Structure formats: C-alpha cells, structure tokens
Amino acid sequence: MVSEEVGDKYFCILVDEARDISKREQMAIILRFVNNHGILTERFFSIKSVSDTTSMNLKNEISNVLVHHDLHVKKIRVQGYDGASNMRGAWNGLQALFLKDCPYAYYVHCFAHRLQLTLVSAAKGVNVIWKLFSHLDNIVNIVISSTKRIPELHIAQRNEIEYMLSIGECDSGSVLGDHSPNGRAKAEVREIYRNMASFEFVFILNLMHKIIRTSYTLCQIFQRKSQDILTAITFVTTTKTCLQEFRECGWNEFLQEVKVFCSRNEIDMLDLDCLYKIGRSCRQTTIEHHYHIDVFNAAIYFILMELNTRFNEPSVELLSLSTTLDHKNSFDSFNIDDICKLATKFYPGDFIDQEIVALEYELIYYKLDVMQNLKVSILVELCQQLIENGQSNVYVMLIRLIHLVLTLHVSTTTTERAFSAMKHVKTALRNKMEDDFLVDCLTLYIERGLAKHIDVNSIIDEFYALKSRMTQFR
C-alpha cells in the first residue's frame, strides 16, 4: 500500500481534476516522497468523484482521503496543482487553505504548464506568429471536413516519400483535391493554399519548428516521472542559453535553410533587398531586416522574456537556496550558510536549534567526504548512494533536508497519466456501470502497482467481484 510506503515521511500532494466520459468531475491524487531506499517516488494514491470543485470542498476531500489512510496533513511539504484560480489562488485557493493548516506545504506551479503558457504568450506577442496558428487551424479544419481529403493527403505523402527515396531530394508532392460541394468552400481551399505557399508562412513555420524543437528536450524533462527540481532548473537555464545563441548567431544559417525549403517546394522567394513599409508609419526598411529584427529576433525575445518571467527561480528564494545542495561542477554552488538558511527559514518546524547546529557540522565534514568519494550526477542519485553506503546514519540532518528538497516537484503529469488509465476503463460502453464501484476498482488496481500494464478485463472482473461482495453484505 502507498500509505505504508510513505509512513511518517514528508510528502508532496499532486492533484488534478478532469471530467470522465460520464461528464462527472474526477480528482486524481498522487503522492511524491522519498522511500526507505532513498528512491524518489511518485505513486498513484486515489481517484475521487467530486460534485463540487470549490477549493474548500476539494481540500476536505483530500484531507479525508489522507486521514482514512493514516497520513497526516502536517506532513505535507509541497503542493502541486494547475494554474486554475480555485487551485492556486493566493487567498482562497486550495493551496492557501492547506497553508493555513500546514505553513510549510509550499505550492509549486507545474513546470510543464509554465512552459506551455510561455509558448502561448510568445505566440500572442508576435502578430505574424499568431496568424500562422490561425492558418494552421484552418488547414486542419479543411482537411478533416471531407472524408475524401484525408486518404488523398495520405496518398500524396506516400508518393512524396517514395520520390524522396528514389532521388534523395524533396518533391513538392500533390496538391489536395477539392471535393467541396459549394463555391465558398472552394474559395476557402484556394485561400488556404495561397497562404501555405507564401514565403511568410514558410518562414514562420520553420522558425516555430526551430524554437519548439529547442524547447522539446525541456518539455520531456518536465514530464519525466520522479524528476527532481534542481535538474529541471538546470535544463531551463540550458534552454535559455540555446535560444539566446540561436538569436545572436543563428540568423544566416536559418535564412539559408528557409531558402532551400522554398526552392525544394517551389515557393516563390521574396527579394530580401526590397524596401518594406512598417505598418502605417512612414518608416521603411528592407524585407530581410523586417524578418530578421521584427520577426526572428522578436519571436525569440518574447520566448526568453516569458521563460525569465515564469521560471525566475532566483526570485523564488526557496528554490534558489535549494540549488546550493547541487554538487555539480565540484560543488561550485555549495554554500554551508545558504543550506542552513534553507533549513531555518523554510523548514523551521522540521529543525530545532540544536539540529541546525548539527547540520552545520555535518556539512563541513560532508563537503570534504562527498567531494572525494561519491560519483553521482544528480541529487536523487546522491540521496540513494548515501543510504546505500550507510552514510545516512552519519548525515542525519542533511538527509532530512535532502528529502524535503526532493519533494519539490517539477510537474503534475503523473496525475494526467492516472486520467489516461481511467479512459481505458470508463468508456461510453461501460458507462452504465456504477461510477463509485468503478472508481474503487480502478483505485485498488492502481494501488497494487498494475497501472503501467492496464488490463481492462481484469478491472471489470474486480468490479463485479466487489459489487457481488457489497450485495451480499447488504
């Protein structure tokens, strides 16, 4: 059982809510903690049906589940929810209500959600990029609106791949046929194709592909299970560095890639030396200058600005001080005073004055000992190795602090995986089954550690067995 693994340890609660196929609100609860072997773990805990999604009701439901499994709210050290007002509200949100009962249950907004909001805000900040996504919506709608266009698109793609394999180059492929029943739809198809075949569309499409590809690794890092926050912060910094280098040094190479793309796909290139009038003003510049400064530089600038705003960890003192435990680069950031400050300021309920003194002495010996003997790359591995080597009995206060820092989560994607598992079971066909029974069965099934290998028939068998037992009890 998950509650037995957690025991009296500190833990983080990750909570998300979503509607199932029956349009009922379901709340998934995940617990994040460090187990007895020093392994950072995120485990499914419960799914609850909730009719009322107000912050107070959600708080009561979560508290009841924890109490039922002998877990104490006072042991919560981190809360992880999405950005909805009922969850993250500073005054009446769920996180604020838990902070009244447990003042050290710090709220961390899901990093994956932050990155998504970063890309959306940046797209809105540059008008031509926002127009691109509007065009993409129209393209998708046109294709899926006709049952004949989808297979025709597949045929065009297959022909293009075969051609590429035969000559080693790209071909423009086949243009979608027009199976629209009226003239208006034909005009829409022509307009969409005209936009797709424009230099501006190609330029923005390639630029966004480059930016999203650069941030893809960061996105994957955020969605890994049991990711520690120090590693995530490091990758945020690396991503910002890559984007800044692309902005400063990547223009010529990128422009050449766009030119090659246009040539291969028979897209008319603009004369980049021609004058370009900016908006309603009288200011004129060249077309190349416009795409370089007003589009290329501006798009990357907005991305960097949003990343700095949404991932401004130096302004979040808790996370900033946590990085002092990072042992990369020969403990360059290791600072005994900052580590003690982390314990005294943010976890005063977990360290009495005598323990802070003990922590300081442990850190002096630890720095010399660990630098010479431990070979690990991330904080999670350090925690495991200290326990495996029996050194957790020496660095008692330090291990306690490391456990607290490791509960700081990166994302709430584990809750979304729980909802994915729910979709395997709660299909429209099975929706006639009583919801409460079905949720209980799913909860039992996932608690047994079988969620990674969902077997719908086994869950249904569990459902009928549980239902039969309850009927006999009645």
Per-residue pLDDT tens digits for 421-471 = 555 555 544 454 455 555 555 555 555 554 444 454 555 555 556 555 555
User: Do 267 and 295 share a domain, yes or no?
Assistant: yes
- Of the listed ranges 12-21, 46-55, 269-278, 460-469, the least confidently predicted one is 460-469
User: Do 214 and 267 share a domain, yes or no?
Assistant: yes
The mean pLDDT value for 148-173 works out to 70
Which range of residues forms the domain containing residue 263?
117-310
The structural domain count of the chain equals 3
- Name the residue with higher pLDDT: 78 or 148: 78
Backbone angles phi, psi at 42, to 5 degrees: -120, 115
Dump pLDDT digits (tens) for 229-265: 778 888 888 999 999 999 999 999 999 999 999 998 8
- Name the residue with higher pLDDT: 58 or 177: 58
Looking at this protein, which amino acid is placed at residue 337? D
pLDDT of the residue at 411: 77
Distance CA 199, CA 218 (A): 30
| Whether 444 contacts 465, CB under 8 Å | no
User: Do 273 and 137 share a domain, yes or no?
Assistant: yes
User: Do 142 and 14 share a domain, yes or no?
Assistant: no
User: Do 43 and 152 share a domain, yes or no?
Assistant: no
User: Do 394 and 366 share a domain, yes or no?
Assistant: yes
Question: For residue 272, what are its two tokens?
Answer: 């980049």
User: Do 374 and 445 share a domain, yes or no?
Assistant: no
Domain termination residue (choose one: 270, 292, 310):
310
pLDDT > 90? residue 66 = yes
Which 3 state secondary structure label does DSSP give 105? Answer: coil
- Name the residue with higher pLDDT: 296 or 151: 296
pLDDT of the residue at 428: 47
pLDDT > 80? residue 330 = no
User: Do 398 and 426 share a domain, yes or no?
Assistant: no
Domain termination residue (choose one: 406, 438, 460):
406
User: Do 60 and 133 share a domain, yes or no?
Assistant: no
User: Do 281 and 185 share a domain, yes or no?
Assistant: yes
| Whether 20 contacts 26, CB under 8 Å | yes
Domain termination residue (choose one: 380, 406, 432):
406
User: Do 43 and 155 share a domain, yes or no?
Assistant: no
| Whether 339 contacts 404, CB under 8 Å | no
Dump pLDDT digits (tens) for 300-317: 999 999 888 888 754 467
Give me the CATH number covering residue 98: 3.30.420.40
Range 271-304 burial, b when 16+ CB lie within 10 A, else e = ebeeebeeeeeeeeeeebebbbebbbebbbbbbb
User: Do 416 and 400 share a domain, yes or no?
Assistant: no
